[in-house]
Chain A
Amino acid sequence: MLQELTFGFPILSLILFLPLLGAILIALLKEEDLIKNAAMGVSLLELVLAVIVLLRFVPESAAMQFSERVAWIPPLGISYHLGLDGISVLFVGLTAFLTVLVVLYSWDTVRHQIKLYFVTLLALETTMMGIFVALDLILFFVFWELMLIPSYFLIKLWGGGAERQYAALKYVLYTLLGSVFMLVGIVLLDLNYHDWAVVHHIEPAYSFDFLQLLTIPIPADKQVLIFWLIFMGLAFKAPMFPFHTWLPDALLEGPIGMAVFLAGIKLGTYGFIRFSLPLLPDASKNQGVASTMMTLALLAIIYGAIVALIQPDFRRLLAFSSISHLGFVVAGLFALNYQGLQGSLLTMINLGFSTAGLFFLAGFLYQRRHSTQLAAFGGLAKKVPLLATYLLIVGLASIGLPGTNGFVGEFLILLGAFQAHWLYGVVAVTGVVFGAAYFLWYYERAMLGPLTQAVGQAIADLNARELVIALSLSVMIFWIGLYPSPFLRMMNGSVQALVERLDKGAVAGMAVPTPVLAHRAGRIGSADARERGSFPHPVGTE
């Protein structure tokens, strides 16, 4: 897990700052069409870079790849440290993919302050990328907090609901409240490192570096405290039941573009698998912690699904279905076995296609009916057969029909949970039934049956742009559903390493870090010896 591979070219920095540079560029533009085209160009270029990273990524490896490290605040051991492994690499691709689709969606649906909108959107992309590529906890935290700024303005300025101001503030306050605790947790990690560094005469004595923190032992009870502190930050953001009440508001009041990211990019649960589990393996395994997390997860699965069942508003339904799906993800994580972790990771990616996809479709509906309330629908399939078809495809993916991506992830999670304890599996599996119930019942009332009076005669089916969005989502859904091999291979190495890490724990001291791993400015790692000019040459796994 400590191995690092550089790429010879700071591609992650480029990925990280390209959207921001694009935002600046757009800020200088005047003409509306130019702005849109520029936003599309930037997001497409970002997607190309992300695809290059995915193609160049060495699968079945636990190594940190494409690493970059530069000292940032040396006295505090804070560095600008980027890298991707099997856990984070797919998120970069997903974020880039969704941003392109959001730009496409926003093309003619955002009608005021267009320039500012795309500037904000691209700024948001940078902060999300930052969260996924950061390997320094402070750097991660900075992006985590910065992300709130564009999010806040997106909800507040381009939201469709009357309560968007409230929703935006609520979202920010929730996340801030949680992240204060998380920051304390992060600092405790640093102090623990400090104690150890002082005893072992390592200079400098502070570090927020994820890979360095992994190398030192942490007492079990301290781990538990830190776990719950970090939990606060992650659970509020995810959001996990019962800290979820900002989500329905934000999704309902905010613009579709923001909802896609809130529902599709699972930052909170990513934080668990990226930091909590590997850094605090003994706390994660702790009977009290694991069973509490599992209980919250199972509650969320059932609670979310049953509340979703009776929602008349499609977006609110999706909010609760998100909460239910997050329950699945957390259940997989705290099953703490291979299938559970692999399934959770895949499901986080899947939700970026299915739940986020449903928000796009909700947006399409909203464009036509100016509402996502059930009262505005009824028998729509007759009028908009394509929309109805894609809604069904994406919806079935979200309820985990075999052949779609949702099944692969959900199956692995359930299998993992069942292996952790059969009762977990039994409870979680009821979510499968409720999921079908809430989606199909809504679909039945909104799309099937006779056309209702409320639905006017002139509704157009999907236009070309919408069709591109729906088609690209469907391609991903079936690709991962039928041939998930490339995705599984990318994550397998890191999942395996994480399972081993969880087995070994971090209480007993691990091996003393080699000098290579001690902090120093610039690039480090086992690939250090490689020449920097080796760009086209893929780094090998040692």
Chain B
Amino acid sequence: MSDLIVILIPVFPLLAVLLNGLLGSRYSHEVAHRLAWGSVGLSFLCAIGVFAETLGAGAAREVVAYKWIFGGDLTVNLAFLIDPLTCIMLLVVTGVGFLIHLYSVGYMHGEEGFTRFFTYMNLFMVSMLLLVMGNNYLVLFIGWEGVGLCSYLLIGYYYDKVSAAKAASKAFVVNRIGDAGFLLAIFLVFQNFKTLDYTQVFAQAGQLSTEMATAIALCLLVGAVGKSAQIPLYTWLPDAMEGPTPVSALIHAATMVTAGVYMIVRNHVIYDMAPAAMTTVACVGGATALFAATIGLVQTDIKRVLAYSTVSQLGYMFLACGIGAYTAAVFHLMTHAFFKALLFLSAGSVIHALHGEQDIMKMGGLKSKIPWTHGLFLVGTLAIAGIFPLAGFWSKDEIMAHAFVHGHYVLYGMAAVGAFLTAFYMFRLTYLTFYGQSRVDHHTAAHIHESPPIMLGPLVVLATLSVIGGFPGVPPEDGWFHHFLHKVTAQVGGESAGHEAGSGLVVMLMLAATGIALAGWGLAHYLYSMRTETAAAWAERSPGAYRTLLNKYYVDELYDALFVEPTKKLGLVWDWFDRRVIDRLVVGVGELTQSSSAASTWLEKYVIYGGLNAIGYANHLLARSWRQMQSGQVHHYAAIIVAGLFILVHLVLAWWTGSGGVLR
């Protein structure tokens, strides 16, 4: 019975995909969206059931659906692993997913391709659920590429827009680079363990050499970097904002992009054995957290700011993984899902109110016009900035504290600066959007309206979670959340003693974190509320730096010049080579053959005439020529050819063996 519940979790949305995908055009949008959110709701209920069971039993269990790929020493089942980590991911994915589906009903109302949207969203849910539920690397990989596909489909939802189509392809291809790395990791795992099941792999992981563990961990990291938009493969995520806002919330903020973090935590047994890989993960995370935050400072598209903030926050999670704070990484993953979904959806509400306007330079003063949205957005901002006691405070503080306590001062410094920048650009965004003078054009201003309850309702729930979502993790390192996850994330080799932080230090770090967040807020307040001309003046004073940030450090241009264009050039050169060199060569040989009279006679006799016999005169003669062939023509030809070749072959053999040949 309980196995059935587990299997049903991905099956509900799958059924909705099939129904809406195949029959969606035959019934109304009403039916389609009910199927869509209803199925996710059912999955959520099942997930709660599974969670309750896991709370009670505690032990991880596996549920095999069927045997998928097998042969020789390889057996891969389509099977699920239910343990605390899966449970947390399940609740986040189905819970937040359910809310976003509800919101989408309002947001997407009246869109062309309404049913298509929900089909893709449900397909995404299926893939994401496979990703977090799989009990082996290959089921994870179905989900892994599946979410990539859905991301492609949903970024390209407005497919008649060139920018959307381009962003979609870019997302898929960049993700595939990561996927290639992930595949290599899978191969290495199989080579070492002859199985792809987590439980067996992790049980035997102790036998790995450090080099091998490092190799596997780094290949996995390539995959994670692609999916979770870390340096150097983050460039697809900001462009992904071409998709409808609920997509950005669900896929490009709350769930899919956290898959890399989930995957590293899942594989932490391997990472624990590979210090070099751990350091790499931490550095990638720290650098991304800081780097993306700097770009976020100057962007003017409301969704792009949030996109860079997502990249940056994912950097925190990677940093946490890299310093062994796996629980903190998952904790931040969860709280981030709440407040980033909230931010994106309320940004969507703003965009909805302004009929598609996304440029914050054309907003301002919206606070009084859309008060609900303002309030909700503000909650999200406070949470992400890390203001006590909102969700983001606890999770981010835990990561930073862990870094400090374990002596990673450089990483702590990066995270701290990142936190300051985060607070700054998020409040900048809030001020520019909701406060000050309205910069909305008259036509749009006349039609500003608050969003309908179907959109605000989910936002209220998310806002509540953003406020209280941190409490399961309180007190830091010792909350319910940590105990629940301990079985999964406990580091191999035991906790390193001696790093136990005194409560004084913990409080100090909390105060420091709060101070950093408030400082960022204060600066934003100064620049965008009190002295609104200062920011522009600063930008003018150092145009180079400003422009570099505005153009995202020209990384896209760099990649184009380094990889994309040279590959296309190579294609053109090889195409020329193909037509002019290889083809010429072989055709030359062919012509030579043809011109030699023997060959051409042969050709004429057996191919052209034979063909005419069989086909050319088929209208009149087919029956007869068939009888002829049966009566021995081909028979004789074959015999003659064989006889001739016998002689040829014997000559070849005589030459080859240097003796009298094989005729004895």
Interface set of A (CB-CB < 8 Å, partner B): 20, 23-24, 27-28, 72-73, 76, 78, 115-116, 119-120, 123, 138, 142, 145-146, 148-150, 152-153, 170, 172-174, 176-177, 183-184, 187-188, 191-192, 194-195, 198, 225, 242-245, 248, 303, 306-311, 337-339, 342, 379, 381-382, 396, 401-403, 407-408, 411-412, 414-415, 418-419, 422, 425-426, 429-430, 432-433, 436-437, 440-441, 443-444, 447-451, 482-485, 488, 491-492, 495-496, 499
Contact = CB atoms under 8 A, between A and B. Distances in A.
B508 interface: no
A216 B168 CA distance: 57
B162 A441 contact: no
Given A138-B638, A152-B611, 19 more contacts: A23-B618, A24-B623, A119-B618, A149-B611, A173-B593, A173-B594, A176-B603, A183-B645, A245-B583, A245-B587, A307-B578, A310-B568, A412-B71, A415-B190, A440-B152, A448-B164, A485-B66, A488-B70, A492-B70
A179 to B, nearest CB: 11
B183 interface: yes
B142 interface: yes
B446 interface: no
A401 to B, nearest CB: 6
Interface string B606-618: 1100110011101
A449 B159 contact: yes
Tell me the dominant secondary structure on chain A's binding face. helix
A496 B641 contact: no
Contacts of A449: 159-162, 165
9 contacts: A150-B614, A191-B662, A192-B662, A379-B160, A382-B160, A407-B142, A433-B173, A433-B176, A492-B71
Contact of B169 (A27, A248, A440, A491): A440
Interface in B180-227: 180, 183-184, 186-188, 190-191
A488 B76 CA distance: 12
B649 A187 contact: yes
B655 to A, nearest CB: 11
Given A307-B575, A403-B146, A444-B169, A495 B72 contact: yes
Contacts of A411: 69, 138, 183
B615 A149 contact: yes
B590 A174 contact: yes
A177 B589 CA distance: 10
A24 B622 contact: yes
Given A76-B639, A429-B183, A449-B160, A342 B145 contact: no
B645 A418 contact: no
Nearest to B113: A385
B652 interface: yes
Contact of B187 (A123, A415, A484): A415
Interface in B142-180: 142, 144-146, 149, 152, 156, 159-162, 164-166, 168-169, 172-173, 176-177, 179-180
A432 B183 contact: yes
B187 A170 contact: no
B490 interface: no
A119 B615 contact: yes
A116 B618 contact: yes
Contacts of B184: 418, 425-426, 429
Contacts of B610: 149
B648 A184 contact: yes
Contacts of A183: 641, 645
A188 B160 contact: no
A432 B619 contact: no
Most buried by B among A24, A183, A433, A447: A433
Contacts of A485: 66-68, 70
Contacts of B619: 27, 115-116
B73 interface: yes
A270 B164 CA distance: 42
B74 A242 contact: no
A119 B607 contact: no
A342 B191 contact: no
A482 B130 CA distance: 13
